[in-house]
Amino acid sequence: MPQRLSGIAWLAAGVLGFVAAVAGLVPLLPLPSPRAVDTASALEPPLKGPLLSRSLDVGRDGDASPDDWIRRGFGDVGPLSRGLLRLRVALFGPLEVAGLFGRDELGRDLCSRVCWGARVSLSAAAIAGVVSLLIGVAWGATAGWAGGWIDDVMMRVVDVLDSIPLLFLVVFLVTVLGEDSVRLTLDSLGIGRLAIFYAVVAAVSWLSMARIVRAKVLELRGATMIEAARAIGAGPARIIARHLLPNLAGVIVVKLSLVVPRVMLFESFLSFLGLGVQPPDVSWGLLANAGFRALVPFDPAWWLFLFPAMALAVTLLALGFLGDGLGAGAERKWRP
């Protein structure tokens, strides 16, 4: 593990923390619903309209309870988000900050859409991270530790999966999933497109992690310290937990810092082409796509493209700097 991070890496970590906090706590923020259509103020540039406004129905009609308002405005949200939304109503009442980043062609608040989009984009990254930690590390460590034909078979599987251009295959998969009858079948099974999308992201993310962990385990397996541990009677569980894992941590962290931005790019790439996340869900790639179409020669609605693209770029840049910092830190440790 790195001992010292440079200032810029700390800054990057701070930026990432901020983005993650916004994504996690967005229901708590006094922003309009990302789906609330307001055609009267369609394509309003940033900061043009009144900044503070009152959402129409919460608390005003006697019969609109917060739960009704949540269901109407935000769709089916999870229990955690619902709790946060209730807390928000309790805290801010009907007050909301609107038009910070401008509005789209249906008058929906872009700032709110970017913040809610962060959830999808970041959870794709988080899922990729977790999967490459669980499957990738386990797969690579098993192959490296077992050796022999087990190693051979396991690594051939990785080779073959790696040589399949998954991105193109995924596009083909999406083609099939676009068929109405398929979608209806899946919906009746309770599998949303977002779930399929996450599964796809997970499937592509663990291969390189398995490779690097295997190489490192192979290298460590022959190391004197492991032999010494075995000589004093340590069992395999103890050796793996106390001697192997701490030495793997460096490569794992560095690899993770490469996998996560790649998967975020992958998500935005597919969503930008209209083949990933589908409305009414929002993600940064999807917003950037909508924004790109708004870049027409006369009076381009630049904010619709600029803010989602900047959110994506800043997050990726922060991940890049953090990864560089971690890599440099890990290298310092390895070469004393």
Partner 1 sequence: MLRFLARRLLLLAATLWIVFTITFVLMRSVPGGPFSSERRPPPEIREAIERRYRLDRPLVEQYFGELGRLLRGDLGMSFRLADYSVSEVIAEGWRATATLGLIALAFAIFVGGGAGIVSAARPGGPVDGLVRAVAMVGISLPSFALAGLAVLFVVYRMRLLPAAGWGTLPQVILPAGCLGAVYAAEIARLVRSGLVESLQSDWVRTARAKGAGRWRIVAGHALRGSVGPLVAFLGPAFAGILTGSVVVEKVFAIPGIGYHFVEAATTRDYTLAMGLVLLYTLLLGLAGIVVDLVQAALDPRVDLER
Contacting residues toward partner 1, per CB under 8 A: 159-160, 163-165, 167-169, 171-176, 178-182, 185, 261, 265, 268-269, 272-275, 288-289, 291-292, 295, 297, 300, 302, 305-306, 309, 312-313, 316-317, 319-321, 324
Q: Which is nearer to partner 1, 10 or 269 (CB)?
A: 269
The residues pairing with 96 across neighbouring beta strands, listed in sequence order, are 53
Find out whether 104 and 30 touch, Cβ atoms under 8 Å: no
Q: Which is nearer to partner 1, 148 or 297 (CB)?
A: 297
Q: Which is nearer to partner 1, 6 or 53 (CB)?
A: 6
Least distance in Å: CB of 239 to partner 1?
Answer: 28
Phi first, then psi: give them for residue 54, nearest 5 degrees.
Answer: -115, 130
Find out whether 308 and 117 touch, Cβ atoms under 8 Å: yes
Least distance in Å: CB of 8 to partner 1?
Answer: 10
Q: Which is nearer to partner 1, 116 or 303 (CB)?
A: 303
Tokens, residue 260 = 């996560």
Least distance in Å: CB of 312 to partner 1?
Answer: 6
From the CB of residue 277, how many other CB atoms can be counted at a distance below 10 Å?
25
Tokens, residue 184 = 């209806």
Q: Which is nearer to partner 1, 1 or 292 (CB)?
A: 292
Residues 6+ apart with CB under 8 A from 160: none
Least distance in Å: CB of 13 to partner 1?
Answer: 15
Residues 6+ apart with CB under 8 A from 311: 19, 114, 117, 118, 284
Least distance in Å: CB of 224 to partner 1?
Answer: 25
Tokens, residue 9 = 């890496």
CA distance 7 to 4: 9
SS3 283: coil
